[in-house]
Amino acid sequence: MKKVLYILFIICVYLNVDSASAQVVPDSYRQQKQQEYQDFTDSIHDNFVRYLQRLWTEYQLFSGEPSPRSVKPVEQPQFDTMETDDTLKTDTQMPYGRLTDIQNVGATEYYPPASIADLQKRNYTVRFYGRELTIALPENVANNKLNGIREKQVARYWKKLVENHAEQCLASLDQQRRNLYLGDWGLFDLIQHFSAVVYPGQVNEQAVLSVYLLGAMHYDARVGRVDDRLIVLVNTGSRLYDIPYVEIDTVRYYAFGDLPRKGRLHTYDRQMASADRPINMNLAYSPRLGEALSPKTYRYTLLGRRVSFRVNQPLMDFYARYPQTELAVYANAAMEEAFSAAVEREMRPFVEGQSPVAALNNLLEFMQQGFVYQADSKQFGREKNFFCEENFYYPANDCEDRAVLFARMIKVLLGYDVVLLEYTDHVATAVHIPGKKVRGQHVDLQGKRYVVCDPTCLGASVGDLSRKYRNKKANIILIKNT
């Protein structure tokens, strides 16, 4: 069935292209294929509406899973120089555990259905992180209202969305996704913003419309009912932390909406055909949001030279809503082009003309001394991993934030391979220095020697790692050459 649906999507897109080649297709053939597509999708929705009417299953709503490394040093750790030999660093190969290598792909590919030319549409303006976006929706959709949140009432509302061709807004949504490089989560965020504009103050209608649009784009999302409200349940490609969830057939669905942290939740236990793709949390591209520099300016003087950074405020707002997820996502997230250029401009003088070890030690000094150290539990009251740019926005950071930023700086400035070393209460990095065997604590990985660099531990230079971690197995996070 999925293959048939995919082929029909391709046909409809092809038939809807305004080009010289498309004009050779007879109108009768075009109409036939559009009708085939419509009949096929209608059959999916007809079957699903009948299923929605059945009694929903009750599931346990679990509290969000706590983030790893929730217990960290209160004070910034300092390297004990007595741990290093007077003349030579201890040259030790360290053990390691799990290896994480993500495929940093963009948003799921999607092909919108052909446009219905004579359908009356209304343009909605969506304010989305510093941009004003126009999204067209059939005008009758907004007139549909839920008259309750029980199974049959949700099914009737869903049927109205089908009858009023709510999926005709998908072309607009998909175009905005492509223009703004949103990725899967960014698209979900946009759909939530859009649904709130279509149904201001009507959270139940917002939830069902969001799930309807996600499902039409093949994402694995469901409507859930908790107490007197409807919510959105989504399957993601990565673990999320501090977000309530339910488990259905071993798949974890995270709950978004105004809801208690735990309790009982009702939803259907069979998904709509073709809606089977998890939301990919990776950011292969930095979103192209509004351009408004944050009023905050980061300044630090390193080796007698002033370093200055300002970040994009809309991007900070976007990241603030991003759910906490696995560290590999942050380590491999693309940096904003303007920020990457600022790293090149501000930090290049500290590595240019230096030996590899001297260049890395300069960057380590910057990371260890250029930021205020504070555990997330004290700064935020919860664990919060930073995307690179956020280090220059918030008042303080901690070990995983520095490790991610340090690793990305190495990629930009030196082009070396680098990995993260993830312990239960700490994160450091290890760097492969091409053509040079540098002594120190290291891991041998895929035929390469990676020497430890700890951007948090004060006074630690290339090859230094606190004795506390030398015999512990770190999980390794590979960082792509992005």
What are the pLDDT digits (tens) for 311-346?
999 999 999 999 999 999 999 999 999 999 999 999
Average pLDDT of the segment spanning 455-469: 94
Least Cα distance to 36 among 61, 4, 66, 82 occurs for 4
CA dihedral (123, 124, 125, 129) positive or negative: negative
Contact 203, 229 (CB under 8 A): yes
Could you tell me how many residues make up the chain?
A: 482
pLDDT of residue 274: 78
Contacts of 256 (CB under 8 A, 6+ apart): 192, 231, 232, 233, 234, 243
pLDDT beyond 70 at 482: no
Say which DSSP state 430 is in: E
Residue range 212-222, pLDDT digits in tens? 999 999 999 99
Distance, CA of 188 to CA of 186 (rounded, Å): 5
Distances from the Cα of 88 to the Cαs of 359, 431, 439, 464, in angstroms? Answer: 19, 19, 8, 11
Hey, what are 405's tokens? 């930023």
pTM of the model: 0.88
Contact 279, 235 (CB under 8 A): yes
Please report the DSSP string for 65-97 in residue order. Answer: PPPTT-S--SS--B--GGGS-SSS----BPPEE
Q: Which stretches of 326-454 are assigned E, i.e. beta strand?
A: 372-373, 396-397, 417-422, 427-432, 442-445, 448-453
Q: CA-based Rg of the chain, rounded to a whole angstrom?
A: 26
Hey, what are 86's tokens? 């007077």
pLDDT beyond 50 at 1: no
Distance, CA of 451 to CA of 438 (rounded, Å): 7
Domain residue ranges of the chain, discontinuous segments joined by + = 2-62+106-267, 84-104+324-478
Hey, what are 240's tokens? 């999320």
Least Cα distance to 16 among 27, 5, 4, 6 occurs for 27
Distance, CA of 327 to CA of 58 (rounded, Å): 32
Q: Which of 87-101, 104-118, 142-156, 409-423 has the lowest mean pLDDT?
A: 104-118
Average pLDDT, the chain: 87
pLDDT above 90 coverage of the chain, percent: 68
What is the band of 23 on the pLDDT scale with cuts at 50, 70, 90?
A: very low
What is the band of 3 on the pLDDT scale with cuts at 50, 70, 90?
A: very low
pLDDT above 70 coverage of the chain, percent: 86
Strand-pairing partners, residue 128, are 131
Residue range 163-183, pLDDT digits in tens? 999 999 999 999 999 999 999
Least Cα distance to 322 among 256, 245, 421, 409 occurs for 256
Say which DSSP state 385 is in: P
pLDDT beyond 80 at 94: yes
The architecture of the domain spanning 84-104+324-478 is Roll (3.10)
Distances from the Cα of 249 to the Cαs of 262, 271, 274, in angstroms? Answer: 19, 11, 17
Hey, what are 204's tokens? 């139940």
Contacts of 398 (CB under 8 A, 6+ apart): 72, 373, 374, 375, 376, 456
